[in-house]
Amino acid sequence: MENLKTPYRAVLTIAGSDSGGCAGIQADIKSISACGAYAASVITTITAQNTQGILDIHPIPVSHIEKQLDAVLSDIDFGAIKIGMLHSSEVIDAVSKKLNPYNFKNIILDPVMVATSGDKLIVNDAVSSLKAFLPRASLITPNIPEAEILIGHTIELNNLENSAREIGRLYHTSVLLKGGHLDSHENEITDTLYLQEKDEIITIKNTWVNTKNTHGTGCSLSSSIAAFLSLGHTLEDAVKKGCHYINIAIRQGENKILGKGNGPINHFGLK
């Protein structure tokens, strides 16, 4: 009888490391694993970080980032790529160059610029390079402060849909505009998905959870979407499933305690 081997559904996360384990590569690996895919990683920076903030950022040399990319891309088939913290123009250029030979259909980019604690995660001259890189992505997942940087104006509840569409048309990509920074006064959180190919807006609502344990939510959401894409879901379904997964993880971590600041979500709360 033939021994059939089943390949892993693999996701590559390209991002920074969080020593506290709440965000970055550590959150990505937990999220991808919890959603049923296999996680590989390329680390762009090492942060000295805990639940209260970032104490230091140590950039990985670009030459070593390139070697990490060469190692995994030449050996493993990836169903999706998640990109997080790219802190400099040199790193953005290196990642872009290394991805060029591969025809990845599913690139999820979380335009990380500012941490939950308010710490800046990107140098000033990298913002323009990041904007130029955005059309390479299948989907970008900015929060409200990041989205305001991308389009240069204030975003409020009454212009969420128009803003998501504006970003998508400007950068030629689909957009998940995360509404967690807005106070809806309705005990729910509204995320707005703009699907570029259909020029369509989809509203995704979940119950608001009153907790400070949301450190790493953005990283976890973008990586969970990448996981669901690698498993064969459509972009729309992957986003909806990702938002649902994160909402449950926030609720399951609501009363957990880790450290003295903003704690993590409970990635494995479904288990």
Q: How high is the pLDDT of residue 133?
A: 96
Among the listed residues 84, 168, 214, 253, the single catalytic one is 214
Domains of the chain: residue spans and CATH: 10-252 (3.40.1190.20)
Residue 33 in tokens: 């694993």
Among the listed residues 24, 84, 216, 253, the single catalytic one is 216
User: 242 catalytic, yes or no?
Assistant: no
Strand segments, DSSP code E, in the chain are 10-18, 38-50, 53-59, 80-83, 107-109, 139-140, 174-177, 188-195, 200-207
DSSP state of 158: G
What is the spatial distance between Cα 162 and Cα 166, in angstroms, rounded to a whole number?
Answer: 6
Among the listed residues 22, 30, 217, 242, the single catalytic one is 217
Of 89, 140, 82, 149, the residue nearest 113 (C-alpha): 149
Secondary element (H or E) of residue 94:
helix 89-99
| pLDDT tens per residue across all 271 residues of the chain | 456 789 999 999 999 999 999 999 999 999 999 999 999 999 999 999 999 999 999 999 999 999 999 999 999 999 999 999 998 999 999 999 999 999 899 999 999 886 655 666 677 788 899 999 999 999 999 999 999 999 999 998 889 999 999 999 999 999 999 987 676 556 888 999 999 999 999 999 999 999 999 999 999 999 999 999 999 999 999 999 999 999 999 999 999 999 999 999 999 987 5
pTM of the predicted protein model:
0.95
User: 216 catalytic, yes or no?
Assistant: yes
